[in-house]
């Protein structure tokens, strides 16, 4: 039976019931599609919109809202724009129009306040980790001196959700005095609590730092440059004619008058509410984000700043009074958008990924953005009209789910994963007291003693974080006695999201220069190291020879040696234990960026141990220091460490793919897809010319330890065979302790070569196998096991050398 991506979980479950299937959360980073959209992203099932129409019309009939405007876009095209019902039912009915202007309520946080803050960060006028009191001294009252700008943006400041409306009764000046005098409800960064006070304060921060009020700053720096001609605080008389009313205040209808009572008391301009806009203007705003800060040739923010702004960041558990709807698992926000907190019901069932984000407003407004798929939707209602009894919570979720299916296709059944089929054995079990501390945690615990008095260059990416999820960049930038001079990023960039050559950039949070080591230069030059006396390396590896982060490690060590710079490695776990050494050792003639030295396919070391190996065996004699982990043992799998999994690169999205990576990546240079452009790269492989049934059958007949294969069909959205039906196999790990990555990879190659000799580009396997004798052995051997015997004979000598550099038992 051939299974599609959509249904393969059910059939795999019946086919192989002993495997435990569990979804693994994927995350972090964004890419910007730019003005041209990939053909695979052109899909839009217009027929689904009839379902959305029906739901909205039903909500209107049930008095959940008087009317609505729905806008759906992809790239630079609006795919669907429609008005429903009325914008007013009292004092007289008025039809809804697509250009109706809505009171956005809390969407103001996302379209005005947060981007204003990020623009000021980019210009060096604000630092996200600075105390707010640095800019607004009055904020230091009553224990609030430690609240940072970042805390306010993420709603983790410790401020209550809202202060009493009576605090605003005597005008803005008195209101600000009472706001600044508020006490904390809990310690900063210990609880997530959505709070208007956070963004009210941020709005004033813009005023204090820039001199312009928030409404003027947003107009000058965001609305006007982007051509948002119907977007403003306090709409003028002409625009009020198109405004949807909300409720009555003092016996008059609020039409173009902000609904939120606190924003109204502050003159209609506040960081948490007050912006009015249309669906068309919000569409332009979404497009600006999809374009990485630019629209129609006008740039309001650098792409790096946009990435910093929309990056999902874990937030702590909600305060007790906000936990009623709390979902299981970690919650995330960006600096101004929701991702997956209890307020994220708007995203529906198809946008439930950490790479999407959006916001809702109390008046009935909402939008959601999906940069990886280059799309967005906007649903604007004035559900508070006429009497405040409307409710569109359910409608938002239902419509979002339908729009997701229209844009992304039907929701696939959850895919099989390669989690172990049984519980860990007693030998595997790791006690809670043995939670691993990575090198950065150990360094932090020591008060950064190893770096005290040094001028540091940091080689890192998004995986460089401590146990609390804080970036190593930020920790070193604020470490006492440490001067962080410059940043260096490996392949995929500082945020680990790019599948292309990476340019130099600037870190939005610190203002530091980021020098790419995946562009013209693969190692720091003497000029790049000017003013630096210590290089620090903190990047998560996956244990395979051709994973380029460990080549960057070696090249940077060599540069440190040549320029008399000290080199410090902050160690991290090998996710697949430190026990497995397997595969052919790379030939000298194949050494390069995918093989720094003669290493086997799977090296079985941490990056700290590799650095010691490089020094002792490859002659890289830099002044090396390792900050080792605490509590890590070689038998540990990553899920036993207590360390949060962060996708180390765009296409390694879970522990399963990291385990299968050395096997399946051998096909990377061939004419076989390794699953790039699907939901689970490096867990599947295929091509249009493969007979999936036959391939899965012979692979299963090979009786490989710890793995089974299921035939499947898939269609990559990007990369090799984009938009073409591919047939192949999905790999399921049944026993990770028995799994042999090198033997599995050799068997896959051997069987493809035997089954499809006229189609399969066998010689291209050598690009990553990197051993001519091993390639010849696979070509001529009677079985994969015979081929493996030849390279296994050389591994004992390597393991003897490796043993001298191991740090952990």
DSSP 576-626: B-S---EEEEPPGGG-BTTBSSS-EEE----HHHHHHHHHHHS-----EEE
pLDDT at 432 over 80: no
CA dihedral for 97, 99, 104, 110, sign (positive or negative): positive
**Alpha-carbon distances, residue 182 vs 162, 185, 264 (angstroms):** 10, 9, 20
Mean per-residue pLDDT for 766-794?
A: 92
**pLDDT value, residue 25:** 30
Q: What Cα–Cα distance (Å) separates residue 371 from each residue in 48, 289, 659?
A: 21, 8, 28
Which pLDDT belongs to residue 412? 54
Q: Note the pLDDT tens digit of each residue in 148-163.
A: 999 999 999 999 888 8
DSSP string, 62-125: TTS-SEEEEEEEETTEEEEEEEEEEEE-SSS-EE--TT-BEE-TTHHIIIIIHHHHHHHHHTTS
What value does the mean pLDDT take over residues 425-432? 37
Residues 169, 172, 174, 176, CA torsion sign: positive
Q: Among 155-169, 296-310, 367-381, which stretch is predicted with the lowest mean pLDDT?
A: 155-169
- Measure the CA angle with vertex 155, ends 198 and 355; round to 5°: 130
Structure tokens at 534: 């210590």
CA 553, chain centre distance (Å): 24
* pLDDT of amino acid 771: 94
- Is the peptide bond prior to 386 cis by the omega test (within 30 degrees of 0)? yes
pTM above 0.85, yes or no: no
Tokens of 251: 């016996």
Average pLDDT on 202-216 reads 97
CA distance linking residue 370 with residue 404, whole number of Å: 10
Percent of the chain whose pLDDT exceeds 90: 79
Q: State the alpha helices, DSSP H only, in 317-392.
A: none
Band (pLDDT 50/70/90 cuts) for residue 223 is very high
- Residue 119 above 60 pLDDT? yes
* Calpha distance 510→49 (Å, rounded): 44
Beta carbons of 392 and 64 less than 8 angstroms apart: yes
Q: How far apart are CA 154 and CA 198, in angstroms?
A: 9
Q: What are the pLDDT digits (tens) for 713-724? A: 999 999 999 999
CB atoms within 10 A of CB 728: 28
- Say if strands 252-253 and 3-4 run parallel, antiparallel, or are unpaired: unpaired
Q: Say how far apart CA 60 and CA 63 lie, in whole Å.
A: 5
- Give pLDDT, residue 447: 96
* pLDDT above 70 (res 298): yes
> Taking a C-beta distance cutoff of 8 angstroms, is the pair 593, 551 a contact?
yes
pLDDT given for residue 340 in this prediction: 87
The neighbour count for residue 416, using CB atoms within 10 Å, is 31
Query: What distance in Å separates the CA atoms of residue 436 and residue 577, rounded to the nearest whole number?
Result: 13
pLDDT band at residue 35 using 50, 70 and 90 as cut-offs: very low
pLDDT band per the 50, 70, 90 thresholds, residue 170: very high
Give the count of beta carbons closer than 10 Å to the beta carbon of residue 809: 8
pLDDT attached to residue 434: 62
SS3 label, residue 280:
helix
Mean pLDDT over residues 433-455, rounded? 92
Instruction: Give the range among 286-290, 357-361, 446-450, 642-646 with minimum mean pLDDT.
Output: 642-646
Least confident of 403-407, 415-419, 456-460, 474-478: 415-419
Average pLDDT value for the chain: 89
User: Phi and psi (nearest 5°) for 80?
Assistant: -155, 130
pLDDT tens-digit map of 656-676: 999 999 999 999 999 999 999
Q: How confident is the model at residue 694 (pLDDT cuts 50, 70, 90)?
A: very high
Place of tokens 């509410």: 273
* CB-based contacts of 185, cutoff 8 Å, min separation 6: 158, 159, 160, 193, 319
Query: 378 with 287: CB under 8 angstroms?
Result: no
Q: Record the tokens describing residue 197, joined without a space.
A: 């006070």
Query: What is the per-residue pLDDT for 331?
Result: 82
Mean pLDDT computed over 312-323: 65
Residue 41 has a pLDDT of 53
Residue 396 has pLDDT above 70, yes or no: yes
Pairing outcome for strands 624-627 and 684-687 = unpaired
Rounded to 5°, the CA angle 130-132-135 comes to 95
Rounded to 5 degrees, φ, ψ at 148 are: -100, 165
């Amino acid at each position: 039976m051939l299974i599609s991506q959509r249904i393969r979980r059910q059939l795999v479950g019946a086919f192989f019931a002993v495997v435990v299937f569990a979804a693994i959360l994927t995350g972090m980073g964004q890419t910007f599609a730019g003005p041209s959209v990939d053909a695979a992203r052109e899909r839009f099932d217009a027929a689904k919109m009839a379902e959305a129409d029906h739901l909205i019309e039903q909500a209107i009939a049930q008095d959940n809202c008087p009317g609505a405007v729905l806008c759906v876009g992809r790239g630079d095209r609006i795919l669907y724009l429609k008005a429903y019902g009325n914008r007013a039912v009292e004092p007289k009915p008025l039809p809804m129009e697509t250009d109706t202007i809505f009171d956005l309520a809390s969407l103001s946080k996302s379209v005005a306040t947060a981007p204003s803050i990020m623009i000021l960060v980019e210009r060096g006028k604000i630092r996200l980790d600075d105390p707010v009191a640095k800019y607004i001294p009055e904020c230091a009252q009553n224990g609030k001196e430690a609240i940072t700008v970042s805390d306010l943006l993420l709603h983790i400041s410790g401020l209550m959700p809202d202060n009493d409306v009576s605090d605003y009764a005597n005008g803005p000046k008195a209101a600000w005095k009472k706001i600044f005098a508020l006490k904390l409800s809990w310690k900063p960064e210990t609880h997530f609590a959505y709070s208007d006070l956070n963004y009210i304060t941020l709005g004033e921060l813009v005023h204090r730092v820039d001199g312009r009020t928030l409404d003027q700053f947003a107009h000058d720096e965001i609305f006007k440059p982007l051509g948002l001609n119907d977007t403003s605080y306090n709409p003028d008389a002409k625009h009020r004619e198109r405004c949807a009313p909300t409720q009555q205040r003092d016996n008059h209808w609020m039409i173009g008058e902000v609904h939120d009572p606190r924003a109204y008391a502050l003159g209609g301009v506040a960081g948490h509410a007050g912006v009015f806009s249309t669906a068309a203007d919000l569409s332009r705003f979404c497009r600006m984000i999809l374009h990485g800060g630019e629209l129609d040739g006008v740039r309001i923010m650098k792409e790096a700043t946009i990435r910093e702004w929309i990056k999902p960041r874990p937030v702590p558990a909600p305060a007790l009074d906000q936990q009623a709807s709390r979902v299981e698992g970690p919650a995330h926000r960006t600096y101004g958008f929701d991702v997956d907190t209890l307020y994220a019901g708007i995203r529906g069932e198809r946008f439930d990924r950490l790479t999407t984000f959006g916001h809702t407003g109390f008046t009935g407004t909402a939008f959601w953005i999906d940069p990886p798929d280059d799309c967005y939707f906007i649903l604007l209602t004035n559900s508070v009209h006429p009497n405040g009894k409307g409710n569109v919570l359910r409608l938002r979720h239902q419509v979002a789910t339908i729009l997701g299916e229209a844009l992304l296709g039907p929701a696939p059944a959850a895919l099989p994963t390669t989690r172990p089929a049984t519980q860990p054995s007693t030998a595997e079990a790791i006690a809670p007291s043995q939670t691993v501390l990575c090198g950065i945690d150990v360094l932090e615990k020591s008060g950064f003693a190893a770096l005290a008095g040094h001028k540091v260059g940091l080689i890192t990416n998004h995986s460089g974080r401590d146990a609390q999820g804080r970036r190593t960049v930020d920790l070193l930038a604020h470490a006492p006695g440490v001067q962080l001079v410059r940043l260096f990023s490996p392949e995929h960039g500082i945020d680990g999201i790019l599948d292309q050559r990476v340019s130099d950039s600037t870190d939005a949070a610190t203002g530091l220069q980021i020098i790419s080591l995946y562009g013209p230069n693969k190692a720091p030059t003497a000029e790049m190291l000017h003013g630096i006396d210590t290089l620090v390396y903190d990047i998560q590896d996956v244990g395979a020879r051709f994973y380029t982060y460990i080549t960057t490690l070696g090249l940077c060590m060599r540069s440190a040696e040549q320029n008399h710079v000290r080199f410090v490695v902050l160690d991290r776990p090998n996710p697949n234990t430190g026990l497995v050494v397997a595969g052919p050792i790379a030939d000298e003639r194949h050494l390069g960026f995918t093989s720094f030295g003669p290493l086997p396919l799977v090296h079985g070391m941490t990056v700290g141990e590799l650095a010691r190996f490089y020094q002792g065996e490859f002659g890289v004699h830099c002044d090396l220091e390792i900050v080792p982990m605490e509590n890590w043992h070689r038998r540990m799998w990553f899920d036993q460490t207590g360390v949060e999994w962060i996708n180390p690169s765009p296409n390694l999205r879970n522990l399963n793919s990291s385990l299968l990576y050395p096997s399946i990546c051998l096909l990377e240079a061939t004419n076989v897809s390794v699953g790039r452009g699907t939901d689970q790269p490096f867990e599947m492989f295929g091509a249009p010319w493969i007979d999936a049934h036959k391939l899965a059958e012979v692979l299963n007949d090979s009786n490989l330890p710890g793995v089974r294969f299921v035939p499947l069909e898939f269609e990559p959205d990007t990369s090799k065979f984009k938009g073409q039906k591919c047939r192949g196999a999905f790999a399921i790990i049944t026993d990770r302790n028995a799994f042999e990555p090198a033997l599995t990879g050799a068997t896959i190659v051997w069987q493809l070569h035997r089954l499809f000799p006229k189609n399969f580009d066998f010689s291209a396997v050598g690009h990553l196998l990197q051993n001519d004798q091993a390639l010849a052995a696979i070509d001529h051997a009677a079985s994969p096991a015979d081929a493996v015997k030849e390279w296994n004979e050389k591994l004992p000598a390597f393991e003897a050398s490796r043993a001298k550099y191991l740090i952990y038992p």
